[in-house]
Amino acid sequence: MDRRTVFSGRLLPHLLLAPQLLLTVFFFYWPAATAVWSSLTAEDAFGQGWIFVGLDNFQDLLTDPLYLQSALRTVVFCVAVSVLAMAVALLLAVFADRVIAGRGLYRTLLIWPYAVAPATSAALFVFVLHPRFGLLGRWLNTHGFDWDYTLNGVQAMGVVIAASAWKQVSYNFIFFLAGLQSIPRAVIEAARMDGAKGWLRFRTITFPLLTPTTVFLLVVNLVYAAFDSFGTIYALTQGGPSKDTETLVIKVFRDGYINHDIGGSSAQSVLLMLAVIAVTAVQFRFMGRRTLS
């Protein structure tokens, strides 16, 4: 997609390109190289000395059942958040597409949560679900239900999934609504005149036509759940109880920042980088131009 007509000039384009290129080198390539180098060494926290250990850090990681559990947990978490956030968003979008009165107001009221920070979403959920302070959490405990996500791993996972998905619904809603509105009315009318009822129409016509949107959103949601959810999870459970909500990105943070295990956390970073590159490569191969996140 190159232009035919361009401007001449040698110095100017370099000047224009320089800021981004410099930042990219300093804040992408250099850290990436540092990560690779650190992952192949063992050094003390203060950086006083290092020794080369080859692939030891990677071997330790890949044979550590805790790391593999964390990876599995991350997959479960990402899928659960994506499915939940997309399903709720699709439901709302279908009805927002249908409704006539108050359409603009509904749209506004369903878009604003996009602005909520993941960590803030966690704070909100604390006040709803905390066993001691939360309105609903306290209610559950006084009505015979043993609710304490600070001690019960399954409940903790449920809470972080809910809080993370809650935040993501708006984004999905915007895309699903746009996708629905771009389906030609003629197609829907034709199906209706053929006698297809609402649910059948949806299943056989509408949903298949939404496939590009759905696939795009799935990738975005999976990546969001894997990385952006850090704030939500960390603010709610810090990865606990007993690692039950420790996703890979929480583990990187914990090992690198709190435990000062430079080699181990760098190895984890490298593996995460490879995973993201793989996912993005797949995304671009199959979807072409979707570039905005």
Partner 1 sequence: MNNRPDWLAHIILGLGVLLFVLPVWLVFAGSTQDPDAIARGALSPWLDPSGFGVYARVLSRGALGGQPVWHMLAISFAMALAIALGKIAISVTSAYAVVFFRFPFRRAAFWLIFITLMLPIEVRIIPTYAVMADFGLINSFTGLWVPLIASATATLLFRQVFTAIPDALVEAARMDGAGPLRFLRDIALPVSGANIAALFVILFVYGWNQYLWPLLVATDPHLDTIVIGIVKMIGVDSQTDWGAVMATTIIALLPPVIVVVAMQRWFVAGLTEGEK
Partner 2 sequence: MRRRTLLAAAPLSLAAAPLSLAPLGLSASAARAGEKITIIWWHAMTAALAEEVKRIADGFNASQAEVEIQPVYKGSYGDLLTALIAASRAGEAPHLAQVFEVGTGTMLGAGKAVKQVWELAKETGLQIDPKAYIPAVRGYYSLADGRMASMPFNSSTGVMWINKDAFRRAGLNPDKAPATWQEVRAACDAIKAKSAAPIPMTTSWFTWIQLEQYSALHNLPYATKENGFEGLDTQLVFNGKAQVKQIQRLLDMAKDGTFKYSGRDGAPDPVILSGDAAISFGSSAARGNLVKSAKFEWAEAALPYDPEVIKTPENSIIGGASLWTMTAPKRTPAEYKAVASFLRYIGTPDLDATWAQNTGYVPVTHAGFEALKKQGYYDKNVGADIPVEQLARGKMTANTRGLRLGRLPEIRAIIQEEMEKALQGGQNAQALLDNAVERGNKVLKDFAKSAKA
Task: Residue 259: name its binding partner from partner 2, partner 1, none (Cβ under 5 to 8 Å by kind).
Answer: partner 2
176 vs 244 by CB, closer to partner 1: 176
9 touches partner 1 by CB under 8 A: yes
Contacts with partner 2: how many residues (CB under 8 A)?
29
Number of residues binding to partner 1, judged by CB under 8 A:
103
CA distances from 105 to 102, 109, 112, 141 (A): 5, 6, 11, 37
Which CB, 118 or 239, lies closer to partner 2?
239
Which token pair is 184? 């030609």
Of 113, 122, 85, nearest in space to 245 by CA: 122
Nearer to partner 2, 166 or 230 (CB): 230
Q: Which of 132, 133, 96 minimizes the C-alpha distance to 111?
A: 96
Of 11, 15, 51, 292, the one binding partner 2 by CB under 8 A: 51
How many Å apart are CA 133 and CA 236, to the nearest integer?
Answer: 13
Show the site string, 191-230: x = touches partner 2 by CB under 8 A, - = not.
----------------------------------------
Question: Per the omega criterion (within 30 degrees of 0), is the bond before 241 cis?
Answer: yes
Q: Is the peptide bond before 208 cis (omega within 30 degrees of 0)?
A: no
The whole-angstrom separation of Cα 237 and Cα 122 is 9
Strands 50-52 and 41-43, bridge-based pairing:
antiparallel
Give the contact letters, 178-197, x = binds to partner 1 (CB under 8 A), - = no.
xx-xx---------------
Q: Which of 62, 87, 109, 190 binds partner 1 (CB under 8 A)?
A: 109
Residue ranges in 41-70 that form contacts with partner 1 under rule CB under 8 A: none
Based on the shown chain and the rule CB under 8 A, indicate whether residue 72 belongs to the binding site for partner 1: no
Check residue 108 for interaction with partner 2 (CB under 8 A): no
The distance of closest approach from Cβ of residue 15 to partner 1 in the complex, given in angstroms and rounded to an integer, is 8
How large is the angle between the packed helices 118-129 and 135-142, nearest 10 degrees?
30
Q: For residue 50, what is the DSSP state?
A: E
Binding mask 129-168 for partner 1 (x = CB under 8 A): ---xxxx--x---------------------------x--
Distance of alpha carbon 6 from alpha carbon 155, whole angstroms: 59
- Residue 48 contacts partner 2 per CB under 8 A: yes
Q: How far apart (Å, rounded) are the C-alpha atoms in residues 247 and 76?
A: 10
Exactly one of 6, 11, 15, 45 binds partner 2 (CB under 8 A); which one? 45
Residue with tokens 């609710």: 147
Residue 23 binds to partner 1 (criterion: CB under 8 A): yes
Q: Which of 119-127, 139-147, 177-185, 259-267 is the region at the interface with partner 2 (rule: CB under 8 A)?
A: 259-267
Per CB under 8 A, the list member of 33, 190, 200, 258 interacting with partner 2 is: 258
User: Judged by CB, which is closer to partner 2: 7, or 145?
Assistant: 145
Tokens (6 digits) for 264: 């181990």
Residue among 119, 129, 223 nearest 171 (CA): 223
Please say which residue, 103 or 260, places its beta carbon nearer to partner 2: 260
Q: For residues 272 and 249, is the Cβ–Cβ distance under 8 A?
A: yes
Beta carbon of residue 94, minimum distance to partner 1 (angstroms, whole number): 8
